[in-house]
Structure 1
Amino acid sequence: MPGDVLLLSNSHPPGGAEPFAPARDLLAHHLAERPVWFVPYARADHDDYFTWVHDALGPRIDLRPLHREAEPAATLADAAAVFVGGGNTFRLLHDVRRLGLLDALHANPECRYTGSSAGTNLACPTIRTTNDMPILDPGGLDALARVPFQVNPHYLDPDPASTHQGETREERIAEFHEVDPLPVVGLREGAWLHRTGDTLTLDGNTARLFRRNQEPDELAAGTDLSWLLTISS
């Protein structure tokens, strides 16, 4: 059985709450009693990012800095749990591929996975529903496929009063569906997806579900989305 997966839209909840505050108890339960290797490569300053997340999560989680390991790929090959932080998804995929971490995680499906923002994108089949600017060429867009569908973290609803003339998030997801039929879960700020075994649940906040040639569905917190685990590309 693959390891459980927790995918957060973001680390900063809406309303100015402390980082990870709504999900802190779930994170402690999800990651308890095991060393958790933190993957900081979505940002440039790895030490600063690790320290910030370590302090934000608190003492209940044994968070460890993967970037300080002499052989990080070998560490992940045997890891019981991993937390992949947010930042730029292209930078993240570039570095985890360059360091052999993508292959190590592919070879260790039992590793319990937590992602936030860019880390959530990395858990999808590809990173093609990220919001980020491609500041680096990651050498391909395929990712981990810890879930068989796509996620759009930080999902923003169209603002009818906006004078912005660029595409809305909904329009960009529609463009994705012109070339790929995989469902996309638009996770609003503060929302997360938690997979335990064959069960997948949305919580923390609402979300929208996008499917090709269908109107988007509004999803309430607490919605059972286990059927999404059975889809194939």
Structure 2
Amino acid sequence: MTGQFLTLEGIDGAGKSTHVDFIRDWLTARGIDVVVTREPGGTPLGEALRALLLDVKSDISLDTETLLMFAARQAHVDAVIRPALAAGRWVLSDRFTDATFAYQGGGRGVPFERIAELERWVLRDLRVDRTFLFDIPPDVARARMSTTRTLDRFEREREAFHQRVRNAYLSRAEADIDRIRVLDAELPVATLQAELARDLGRLLERR
């Protein structure tokens, strides 16, 4: 039996990473073997590309940025995601292809059709079973980030950029309501995790 592929998405500062451990622990407690990973990253090559892509000193063209995202994703899919799913494990990834549509597409302006072509090439028959989209206004996200860490290359973008990213995420959610669950990231953590638990329970029942 193949596993389930879950992803977490949202603009920088939405707090999605806070819930990775919760989802892993909730599933593990119910006998599910979970692989936790992230994008860009997940493999030695992916992590090296992540460092380059997030470095504020990097001078990368728009096309190069998009292609590097998919290069990292190809290695990630081949080395981590497909083998885990084939072994019956569940994969939980902090970001995946939706992020490229949102950041490089919505934020940077890369044509969505071009990203979709790369998606078809790299993913082929691979599909995400559930995406949790943590939605939050960019100004609230910015306030959270400014007090917690040094900002990376994407986090330093202006609020208008992050609003375009948010809009792209929400457009994808509207177009794929069966896969993408939109969560209000301004809600208390306990409330969000209760919603996550309910949806995870439905996934287990369907399985």
TM-score greater than 0.5 by the shorter chain? no
- Structure with the larger helix share: 2
Q: For this structure pair, what is the TM-score category when the shorter chain's length is used for normalisation? A: 0.3 to 0.5
Given the two structures, how large is their TM-score scaled by the length of structure 1? 0.38
- Structure with the larger strand share: 1
Higher-RCO chain (CA-CA 8 Å, sequence separation at least 6):
2
